[in-house]
Chains A and B, each alone.
Chain A
Amino acid sequence: MVTVEFKLFATLMEYLPAGAQDHSVRVELSEGATIFDLMDKYRVPRTQAHLVVRNGIFVPPSQRKTYPLQDGDVIALWPPVAGG
C-alpha cells in the first residue's frame, strides 16, 4: 500500500469527503495506483482536472494514467484557473 495526500482546490473542492481539512485528505491506495485511480476513487471527472501537480511539479496528461504513485506523494488538482 502507498499513502498519499490528495488536495482539491477551487470548484473541485466539492469532491472532497465531508470533514476534509485544508482542502486535503490522506488516502491509502494499492501499490502501482496512478493519479487517475486516485481521481476515480473520489469521482473527480478527468476532464475537469486541468492542473495536476505532484509534490509541486506539473504532471502532464500523458503521465496521469501511467505514473505509479509513491508513498508520501502530495497530489494537488485544479480546474482551469488563471489570475494575474
Chain B
Amino acid sequence: MSWAGKILRVNLTQGTCTVEALNRQWAQEYLGQRGLATKYLSEEIDHRVDPLSPENKMIMTTGPLTGTMASTSGRYSVVTKGPLTNCVACSNSGGFFGAEMDFAGWDMFIFEGKSPKPVYLSVMNDIVELLSAEEIWGTSVWHTDEWLHAKHQDPMVRVAAVGRAAEAGCLYAAIVNDQHRAAGRSGVGTVMASKNLKAVLVRGTKGIDNVKDPAKFMNAVNAGKKVLADNAVTGQGLPTYGTQVLMNVINEIGALPTRNMREVQFEGAQSVSGEAMHEKRASDGKPNLTSNAGCFGCTIACGRISTVDKGHFSVENKPDYWGSSGGLEYEAAWALGPDTGVDDLDALTYTNFLCNEDGFDPITFGGTLAAAIELFNMGALTTEQTDGRELNFGSAETLVWAVEALVKGEGFGKDLGLGSKRLCEKYGHPELSMTVKGQEFPAYDPRGIQGMGLAYATSNRGACHLRGYTVASEVLGIPEKTDPLETEGKAGLVKAFQDATAAVDSSGLCLFSTFAWSLEDIAPQVDGACEGDWTAERMLELGERVWNMERDFNMRAGLTAADDTLPKRLLKEAAKTGPALGCVNDLDKMLPEYYELRGWTSDGVPTESTRQRLGLS
C-alpha cells in the first residue's frame, strides 16, 4: 500500500471537489510524485496548451514514502506545464506540507479550470472546501500564511501559497509552503495564480497506516538512517555548512559563473560563502546563520535560518526583516551574488527573504537581473526603461532595488518578471540570456564541468541542476570521481544521474539523501512500504520510463532536438581563468552518444523499440 489511494480533483471553474481512487496500475509503473503526476498530466491535457490558460492543470502530489518514518520523507511536488519553459514543469519542495497531505489521506490534488474569484482550498482530513481568498489576494505568502492560521485557529495547519509575484504575472513565481520552502522553478506559482487559487491549506490527523510490511519497512528505514548518520557528507557536512559550502569549492575549481556567465571565477566568493555565514558580524557580534533546520522527518537538516544585520541599508526602518528567516542555499546565493557580481551577504539574504515572502525563484531572478545589467552596460537598456535607475554589476543597491521592483510588479519590475529569455528578446539581444528551454542556469559553469553542459542541454525542465547532478561525481567524487574537464564517458554519467534522480523524485524522498544513499538503500524502503516487488533495478528502469515520458511530453508540446542546446557564450566563448582556461563546453562531443545511449534517434526522438521496452504508450 503506502499510497493513500485517493485523489482530490478540484474543478475551479465550477467550484467542485470530487474524490477519485488512485490508478494503481499507473502507480506500479510510475510510483508516485514526479512520475505518477506527470503521467496524469500527460494523459489529461493537450500538450500544446497555453500554460496560463484554464485548460492547463496543476497537480500537487506526494510520493508513497512522503510522511512515513523514512528519513527525508517530507517531499511533495507540483506538476504542470510551465509558463517559463513551455515544457513539463515539476518543482519539488520540502518542509511539512507534503507530509500533512498524506496525514490527511491524499496522494494528489488535481486542480483544473479557473475560479471566477480568488479562492483557497481547505483540506481537513476528508472535509474539503473552496473558500474565498478575496481578502488575502494581493498580499504576500507570509501574510497569507499568518491570516490562514489565524482564521482556522489551528497552529498545526500547513499552508502552500502564492505571493504578489505570481499575481503580477512574474513567469517564474514559486509556490511557497511553510513560509520558507518553495516549489521554486519553472513558474508553477504563476500557473496557480492564473487559476485564481491563492493557497492550499491542509491538516491531517490520520497518520500513515497502510505500510505494506511495517517490520520490513522499519528495518530498511533504520538501516537507511544509519547510512545517512555515518556518512560524513549527510551526517556532518550538510548540517554544518548547508549547500552553501559549495561556493568556495566551485570558485576554486573555476566553474562559478560570474556576471552573467562572462567569467568563471568570482573575486567576492568568500564573502558570500557558507563559511562567511558563520562569521560574526562587526556590528552585533552575531553571525548571519542562526541555526540549521530540517524538513519533516529529515535526519540531515541542511536548511539555513539566517538574519540580516539590522544596520544594513536593505532593512533600514523595516523591522519585519530583523528576525530570523529562511537563509541562503547555494543556488540562490550564487544567482543573487556572483551572477550579479554582488558580494554583500546581507543584501543577498534580504533578497532571498523577499523571494520567500512573495514567492519567486531566486535562480531565475538573479539570472534575469544579470542579463539586464549586461544589456544596460551595452546600452541596449537605458534609464528610460529602468525607471531612471542605473543597473550595475557588483551593486548591492541595484540588487535590492530590482527585487523590490519585481515584488511591486510595476515599471521595470514587470520586465524582470519575464525571465531573461523574453527580456533579452525584447531588447534585441537573445544571445545574452543564459538559459536552456527558457530556464536560467544554476550555479555550475559547464565550461569547467563538462557533464553539466549535457545535463543542462537535455534537462526536461530547462537548465537545472536537479535533473542530473553530475557535479557529485565530477567535482565531489560521489559516488566516484570523474574529470570535470573530460567529455568522454559523460553521456553515460548524465543518463545514469537523470534516471536515478527521476526515481528518487517519484518516491517522496529528498534528492540530497543520495549523497549517501544509492537506489540499493532506497529500494528496500520502497519495497517495505509499497505493494509489488521493488528492487534497485526496477527503480532505475522506472526512472528511465519517467525520463522518456517527460521527453515525450515536451516533444508533443512542440520542442525538438534543436532545443537540446546551450547559449552561444558557453559553446564559443572560452573560460578566461582557472583550470578550464581556454575551454568551452563541448556539447557536440557528448550529445550524439547520449541520444544513442537513450535509445533515441539522431533527432532525439525515443525509438519505437525504446518506447516498447519501457512500456510507454
Chain B minimum-CB-distance residue to A56: B579
- A58 CA / B476 CA spacing, docked (Å): 9
* CB atoms of B481 and A82 under 8 A apart: no
B184 contacts A by Cβ under 8 Å: no
Shortest B93–chain A CB gap in Å is 15
Are B245 and A83 in contact (CB-based, < 8 A)?
yes
Chain B residues whose C-beta falls within 8 Å of the C-beta of A13 in the assembled complex: 275
- A51 interface residue, CB < 8 Å from B? yes
Tell me which of B237, B329, B466, B578 contacts A82 (CB under 8 A). B237
In the complex formed, the residue of A with least CB distance to B253 is A56
A84 & B248 in contact (Cβ 8 Å cutoff): no
B324 at the interface (CB under 8 A from A): no
- Across the interface, name the chain A residue whose C-beta is closest to B448: A56
* Nearest chain B residue, comparing its CB with the CB of A48: B232
Contacts of A53 in B (CB 8 A): 252-253
Residue B517, interface by CB 8 Å: no
Answer whether residue A17 sits at the interface, using C-beta atoms and an 8 A cutoff. Answer: no
* A81 in contact with B270 (CB, 8 Å): no
Q: A60, B481: Cβ atoms under 8 Å?
A: yes
For the complex, what is the distance from the CA of A3 to the CA of B477, rounded to whole Å?
Answer: 28
Residue of A nearest to B302 (CB): A83
Contact A82 B252 (CB under 8 A): no
B481 touches A58 (CB 8 A): yes
Interface residues as binary, B497-511 with A (CB distance below 8 Å gives 1, 0 otherwise):
000000000000001
> Smallest CB-CB separation from A47: which chain B residue?
B232
Q: B475 contacts which chain A residues (CB < 8 A)?
A: 58
Q: Which residues of B contact A80 (CB under 8 A)?
A: 231-233, 236-237
Assess the A84–B466 pair: CB atoms within 8 A: yes
Chain A contacts of B481 at CB under 8 A? Answer: 58, 60
Pick from A22, A57, A60, A83: contact of B270, CB below 8 A.
A22
- CB-based nearest B residue for A76: B252
Check A81 against B579 for contact (C-beta < 8 Å).
no
Q: For residue A54, which residue of chain B has the nearest CB?
A: B579
Q: Is the pair A9, B236 in contact by a Cβ cutoff of 8 Å?
A: no
Measured CB to CB, the nearest residue on chain B to A9 is: B248
Q: Closest residue of chain B to A60, judged by CB?
A: B481
**What residues of B have a CB within 8 angstroms of the CB of A57 in the complex?**
253, 579
Residues on A with beta carbons closer than 8 Å to the beta carbon of B466: 84
Q: Nearest Cβ distance between residue B70 and chain A, in whole angstroms?
A: 20
Interface of B is mostly: helix
| A23 interface contact, C-beta 8 A | yes
Q: Give the distance to chain B from A80, nearest Cβ to Cβ, in Å.
A: 4
In the complex, the answer to whether B240 meets A82 with C-beta atoms within 8 Å is no
Q: How far is the CB of B63 from chain A (nearest CB, A)?
A: 19
- A82-B478 contact in complex given A9-B248, A9-B275, A76-B252, C-beta closer than 8 Å: yes
Q: A46: CB under 8 A from chain B?
A: no
Q: Mark B211-255, 1 if CB is under 8 A from A, else 0.
A: 000000000000000000001111011101111111011001110
Which A residues lie within 8 Å of B242 (CB)? 83
Tell me whether chain A's interface is mostly helix, strand or loop, or mixed.
loop
Tell me how far the C-beta of B517 lies from the nearest C-beta in chain A, rounded to whole angstroms.
12
The answer to whether B249 and A81 touch across the interface, beta carbons within 8 angstroms, is yes
Smallest beta-carbon distance B574→chain A, Å: 15
A79 sits at the interface (CB 8 A):
yes
Q: Could you give, for residues 57-84 of chain A, a 1 whenever the CB lies within 8 Å of some chain B CB and a 0 otherwise?
A: 1101000000000000000101111111
Residue pair B579, A10 in contact (C-beta under 8 Å): no
Chain B residue at minimum C-beta to C-beta distance from A21: B270
CB closest residue in chain A, given B250: A83
Residues on A with C-beta less than 8 A from B465 are: 84
Closest to B331 in A: A84
B476 lies within 8 A of A81 (CB): yes
Docked complex Cα distance between A82 and B244 (Å): 9
Q: Which residues of B contact A56 (CB under 8 A)?
A: 252-254, 578-579
Contact B512 A10, beta carbon cutoff 8 Å = no
| Residues of the B chain whose Cβ atoms lie less than 8 Å from the Cβ of A83 | 238, 242-246, 329-330
The smallest beta-carbon distance between A4 and chain B, in angstroms, is 14
How far apart sit A11 and B233, CA to CA, in the bound complex (Å)? 12
**Contact residues in A for B477 (Cβ distance below 8 Å):** 50-51, 58
Please report the C-alpha to C-alpha distance between residue A56 and residue B242 in the assembled complex, in whole angstroms.
22
* A60 cross-chain contacts in B, Cβ below 8 A: 481
Assess whether A30 is interfacial by the CB under 8 Å rule. no
Which residues of chain A are within 8 angstroms of B376 by Cβ–Cβ distance? none
A57 to B238, CA, bound (A): 23
Interface presence of B472 (CB below 8 A): yes
What residues of B have a CB within 8 angstroms of the CB of A58 in the complex?
253, 475, 477, 481, 483-484
Which residue, A50, A51, A58, A76, has most C-beta atoms of chain B within 10 A? A58
**How many angstroms between the C-alpha atoms of A22 and B243 in the bound complex?**
20
Residue pairs across A and B with Cβ atoms less than 8 A apart, 30 shown, are A7-B252, A9-B245, A10-B237, A10-B241, A10-B275, A11-B236, A13-B275, A23-B248, A51-B249, A51-B476, A53-B253, A55-B579, A56-B252, A56-B253, A56-B254, A58-B253, A58-B475, A60-B481, A76-B252, A78-B245, A78-B249, A79-B236, A80-B231, A80-B232, A80-B236, A81-B241, A82-B243, A82-B515, A84-B243, A84-B330
* Further 20 A-B residue pairs, CB within 8 A, beyond A9-B248, A53-B252, A58-B484: A7-B252, A10-B240, A10-B274, A11-B236, A23-B275, A50-B232, A51-B476, A76-B248, A79-B232, A80-B231, A80-B233, A81-B233, A81-B246, A82-B238, A82-B476, A82-B512, A84-B331, A84-B466, A84-B472, A84-B512
